[in-house]
Structure 1
Amino acid sequence: MPPPPRPPRRESSATAAPPPGSEHWPRPWAQMKYFSFHPAVYPNMIRAVSPDAGPGDLVHVMDKEGQLFGSGFFNPKARVPLRVLQHGEDVLTEEKLDARLDAALDLRLNTLRLDSTTDAWRAVHSDGDGLSGLVVDRYADVLSIEVTTLGIWRRLRRWLPKLHERLGTTQHVIEVDPDIARIEAMRWANVPEADDPAPRSVRIRENNVRYQVSFEDGHKTGFFCDQRDNRLKFAHLAKGRSVLDLCSYTGGFALSARVLGGCEDVTGVDLDEKAIAQAKKNADLNQVRLDWVHADTFTWGRQMQQNGKQWDTVVLDPPKLVFSRDPEEGQLGRNKYYDMNAVALGLLKRGGLFVTCSCSGLLDVAEFEDIVMRAAHRNKRRLQILDRTGAGADHPVMSNCPEGRYLKVLWCLAW
Structure 2
Amino acid sequence: MHTQPLILRKDQERRLLAGHCWIYSNEIDIRATPLKTLAPGQPVEILSQSERWIGHGYANPHSLICARIVSRERAQPLSPALWLARLHEALALRERLYTTPYYRLVFGESDGLPGLIVDRYGDRLAVQITTAGMERVRGEILAALEQLLRPTSIVLRNDTSVRELEGLEPGVECVLGEPASDWMLTEQGLEFAIDPMQGQKTGWFFDQAENRARLARYGVGERVLDVCSYIGAWGLRAAALGASEVTCVDSSAGALERLMCNAERNGLAARIRPLQGDAFEVLRELRDQGWRFDTVLLDPPAFIKRRKDEKDGTAAYQRLNRLGLELLEPGGLLVTSSCSFHMGRDGFQRVVQQAGQRAGRRLQLLETGQQGPDHPVHPAIPETAYLKTLFLRALSAS
Q: TM-score, normalised by structure 1?
A: 0.85
* 1:297 paired residue number: 279
Residue 279 of structure 1 aligns to a residue in which SS? helix
- The range that moved more, 397-406 or 59-68, is 59-68
Describe the superposition over 1:119-155 as per-residue Cα deviations: whole angstroms up to 9, x where unpaired.
Answer: 3210000111111110000112321111101211222
* Alpha-carbon distance between aligned partners in 1 of 2:366 and 2:163, rounded to the nearest angstrom: 43
* 2:263 paired residue number: 283
Q: 1:193 to 1:316 in 2, by over 3 A?
A: closer
1:392 aligned onto 2:362:
no
Give the partner amino acid of 1:28: Q
* 2:60 paired residue number: 75
Residue 166 of structure 1 and its aligned partner are, at CA, apart by: 3.2
Give the partner amino acid of 1:206: E
* Alpha-carbon distance between aligned partners in 2 of 1:359 and 1:178, rounded to the nearest angstrom: 16
1:363 aligned onto 2:339:
no
Q: 1:251 to 1:179 in 2, by over 3 A?
A: closer
1:220 aligned onto 2:201:
yes
1:10-49 equivalences in 2 (<5 Å): 28-33=4-9, 34-35=12-13, 36-37=15-16, 38-48=20-30
Q: 1:179 to 1:241 in 2, by over 3 A?
A: closer
1:145-184 equivalences in 2 (<5 Å): 145-177=127-159, 181=163, 184=166
* Alpha-carbon distance between aligned partners in 2 of 1:180 and 1:374, rounded to the nearest angstrom: 32
Describe the superposition over 1:198-252 as per-residue Cα deviations: whole angstroms up to 9, x where unpaired.
Answer: 2222121112101110123311111101111111211442255321111111111
* 1:344 paired residue number: 324
* Alpha-carbon distance between aligned partners in 1 of 2:266 and 2:69, rounded to the nearest angstrom: 45
* 1:60 paired residue number: 45
Q: 1:348 to 1:180 in 2, by over 3 A?
A: closer
Q: 1:217 to 1:185 in 2, by over 3 A?
A: closer
1:98 aligned onto 2:98:
no
Identical amino acids, percent of aligned pairs: 32
* Alpha-carbon distance between aligned partners in 2 of 1:280 and 1:268, rounded to the nearest angstrom: 10
1:411 aligned onto 2:396:
no
* Alpha-carbon distance between aligned partners in 2 of 1:133 and 1:185, rounded to the nearest angstrom: 13
Q: 1:180 to 1:377 in 2, by over 3 A?
A: closer
Say if 1:29 and 1:53, in contact at 8 Å, map to a contact too. Answer: no
Structure 2: which 5+ runs fail to align?
Answer: none
* Alpha-carbon distance between aligned partners in 2 of 1:97 and 1:400, rounded to the nearest angstrom: 21
Residue 162 of structure 1 aligns to a residue in which SS? helix
Say if 1:123 and 1:138, in contact at 8 Å, map to a contact too. Answer: yes
1:108 aligned onto 2:111:
no
CA RMSD of aligned residues (A): 2.3
Describe the superposition over 1:316-360 as per-residue Cα deviations: whole angstroms up to 9, x where unpaired.
Answer: 00011111122xx32111111110000000011111111100111
* 2:115 paired residue number: 133
Say if 1:124 and 1:134, in contact at 8 Å, map to a contact too. Answer: yes
Alignment counterpart, residue 69 of structure 2, candidates 43, 62, 84: 84
* Alpha-carbon distance between aligned partners in 2 of 1:312 and 1:341, rounded to the nearest angstrom: 15
* Alpha-carbon distance between aligned partners in 1 of 2:265 and 2:147, rounded to the nearest angstrom: 29
* Alpha-carbon distance between aligned partners in 1 of 2:282 and 2:238, rounded to the nearest angstrom: 22
Residue 382 of structure 1 aligns to a residue in which SS? strand
Describe the superposition over 1:256-313 as per-residue Cα deviations: whole angstroms up to 9, x where unpaired.
Answer: 1112x12222211111111111111110111212111112221121122122211111
- The range that moved more, 44-53 or 334-343, is 44-53
Q: 1:229 to 1:178 in 2, by over 3 A?
A: closer
Residue 177 of structure 1 and its aligned partner are, at CA, apart by: 3.4
Give the partner amino acid of 2:344: D
Q: 1:391 to 1:262 in 2, by over 3 A?
A: same
Give the partner amino acid of 2:62: K
* Alpha-carbon distance between aligned partners in 1 of 2:77 and 2:323, rounded to the nearest angstrom: 50
Q: 1:298 to 1:79 in 2, by over 3 A?
A: same
Q: 1:414 to 1:240 in 2, by over 3 A?
A: closer
Say if 2:220 and 2:295, in contact at 8 Å, map to a contact too. Answer: no
1:230 aligned onto 2:215:
no
Describe the superposition over 1:62-85 as per-residue Cα deviations: whole angstroms up to 9, x where unpaired.
Answer: 123221122221122223211123
Say if 2:209 and 2:372, in contact at 8 Å, map to a contact too. Answer: yes
- The range that moved more, 86-95 or 155-164, is 86-95
Q: 1:204 to 1:168 in 2, by over 3 A?
A: farther
Give the partner amino acid of 2:21: P
Say if 2:153 and 2:177, in contact at 8 Å, map to a contact too. Answer: no
* Alpha-carbon distance between aligned partners in 2 of 1:183 and 1:248, rounded to the nearest angstrom: 29
Q: 1:89 to 1:367 in 2, by over 3 A?
A: farther
Residue 398 of structure 1 and its aligned partner are, at CA, apart by: 0.4
Residue 86 of structure 1 and its aligned partner are, at CA, apart by: 4.1
